[in-house]
Amino acid sequence: MTRTLALAALASLALGLPGAALAHGRSTSMSSWDIRDAERPSARVRVQATWLDLQRALPELGGLTPGVLATRPDLAAAVDAYLTSHYRLQVNGVACHPTAPRASPVPDATHVARRWRIQCSLAGERSVRADGFTEVMPAHLHLARLRIDEAAPLGRVFVLASPLLELDRAEGRELPRASSFREFVRLGIEHIATGWDHLAFLLALLLVGVTVWEVATVVTGFTVAHSLTLALGVLGWVRPQAGAVEALIGLSIVVVALENTALTVSARGRRTILVGLAALFAVSTAGALAGRVAVPALALAGIGLFSLCYFGLLSRVARPFRLRWLLAFVFGLVHGFGFAGILTEMELPPSRLAPALLGFNVGVELGQLAIVAVAWPFLRALLRGPQTRRQLVVQAGSAAVLAAGIFWFASRALAAGPP
């Protein structure tokens, strides 16, 4: 019965997975602007977006890969027209004329970037409008780095409710400012609340938490770890490949889901899980060595060795739940780099890094604590009752999380190309 229900949950989630899986994280794009000359305004612009968001906005791109833009001028023109019409420099509310966009390098094959110049024929009050993708993804977030005349660069967050930035001093109005500490707090909250992969990992950790103390140690381990790598990533001290980090986040979900199951089955079942996990890491590492998997082979081998040793400890300790903080800490390091990506992409000036980092991290923690406060009592109520029922719930829930983790790992590791 338990196995049947778990497999049913796995199959049902797999059937409904594409929409949720593709919506992982928050839909984001970014741009850089170099804006000059208030008399005859001009600008150099670069906009980068995910191929998935472009497919949502332009249905004719459905089922295709970014490489098609090199061979289909009509589709490239559609992408160029969309970006130049949604990211524009304006004078007195009128859009200035853009030149023909050109392709720009991107970090991996899941993104597309274009750069172009803008020339205005009139002088007046300058403004930047960034409202791309909000018609198909209302929660879309656009991160912009702007250099206006000779002023220091500033970072700005554009959302559906605030798509316009006035650039010039006018009567009763201040010069444009960078996004505030409070806005970065909000950004952190929204990032964790809409990051389905981070939420799946966190909820999987909570699924077998027995006491408040055990939950507290798990959350603390995850918080300390991701705060550390968030800082390292934003400050530029460590710069792992974005595609590899996203794939490893999916893999972390797989490991936690399998651990949940291992805690509810017999010794024979745990051995079967251990063999399956070893096979997964062996195949993935071999694929990385062959250039088929977009994660460094050394990273896969290291995480695989840790995971197998950790699983080996589960059967040798009286209270295996007390080890979960270690698992949360190690994989929290990976998730921290995922959190860092959104701030790193903004390329904030040094003077803005500290408040942005602090505000974003505070937002992530507040969002995380709110999720734990709501989810854990609900999970505890769901798990009340006989042991067989608790095992059934854990196994079914873990099967669903496992399906999501496998999908995320496979789709990200294989889609991004060789590291």
pLDDT tens column, 333-346: 999 888 887 777 66
- The CA radius of gyration of the chain, in Å to the nearest whole number, is 23
- Does the pLDDT at position 58 exceed 90? yes
- Does the pLDDT at position 79 exceed 50? yes
What rounded mean pLDDT belongs to the chain?
82
Structure letter (DSSP) for residue 63 = T
Highest mean pLDDT among 175-189, 283-297, 369-383 belongs to 283-297
Does an H or E element contain 103, and which? strand 102-103
134 contact partners, CB below 8 Å, separation of at least 6:
140, 159, 160, 163
Structure tokens at 316: 């040798």
Alpha helix ranges (H) inside 16-161: 17-22, 51-57, 73-86
Confidence of residue 279 (pLDDT cuts 50, 70, 90): very high
Report the pLDDT value the prediction gives residue 101, as an integer from 0 to 100: 94
**Which of the residue ranges 111-120, 133-142, 274-283 would you say has the lowest mean pLDDT?**
133-142
Using alpha carbons, select from 98, 83, 88 the residue that is nearest to residue 49. Answer: 83
Residue 147 forms beta bridges with which residues? Answer: 34
Are the C-beta atoms of residues 242 and 293 closer than 8 Å to each other?
Answer: no
Report the pLDDT value the prediction gives residue 419, as an integer from 0 to 100: 47
Q: What is the pTM of this model?
A: 0.69
Which whole number is the average pLDDT over 396-404? Answer: 91
Q: Where are the beta strands (DSSP E) in 124-191?
A: 126-130, 141-148, 154-158, 164-166
Report pLDDT digits (tens) over 133-187. 999 888 788 888 888 887 777 778 888 888 998 887 544 444 455 567 887 888 7
- Does the pLDDT at position 108 exceed 80? no
Which whole number is the average pLDDT over 54-76? Answer: 92
Report the pLDDT value the prediction gives residue 324, as an integer from 0 to 100: 84
- Does the pLDDT at position 12 exceed 50? no
**Angle subtended at Cα 411 by Cα 330 and Cα 288, rounded to the nearest 5 degrees:** 65
Structure tokens at 325: 């903080």
Report the pLDDT value the prediction gives residue 192, as an integer from 0 to 100: 83
Which whole number is the average pLDDT over 195-221? Answer: 83
Burial pattern 320-341, b for ≥16 Cβ within 10 A else e, equals: bbeebbebbbbbbbbbbbbbbb
Are the C-beta atoms of residues 228 and 334 closer than 8 Å to each other?
Answer: no
Q: At how many degrees (to 10) do helices 350-382 and 196-206 cross?
A: 50
Stated length of the chain: 419
Report the pLDDT value the prediction gives residue 406, as an integer from 0 to 100: 92
Report the pLDDT value the prediction gives residue 346, as an integer from 0 to 100: 66
Amino acid letter at 345?
E
End-to-end CA distance of the chain: 43
Report the pLDDT value the prediction gives residue 338, as an integer from 0 to 100: 82
Distance in angstroms (rounded) separating the CA atoms of residues 401 and 166: 45
Residue 111 forms beta bridges with which residues? Answer: 50
Residue 33: count other Cβ atoms within 10 Å of its Cβ: 23
Confidence of residue 349 (pLDDT cuts 50, 70, 90): low
Residue 118 forms beta bridges with which residues? Answer: 43, 98
Domain ranges of the chain: 2-24+195-415, 28-179
Report the pLDDT value the prediction gives residue 109, as an integer from 0 to 100: 74
Report the pLDDT value the prediction gives residue 3, as an integer from 0 to 100: 43
Confidence of residue 99 (pLDDT cuts 50, 70, 90): very high
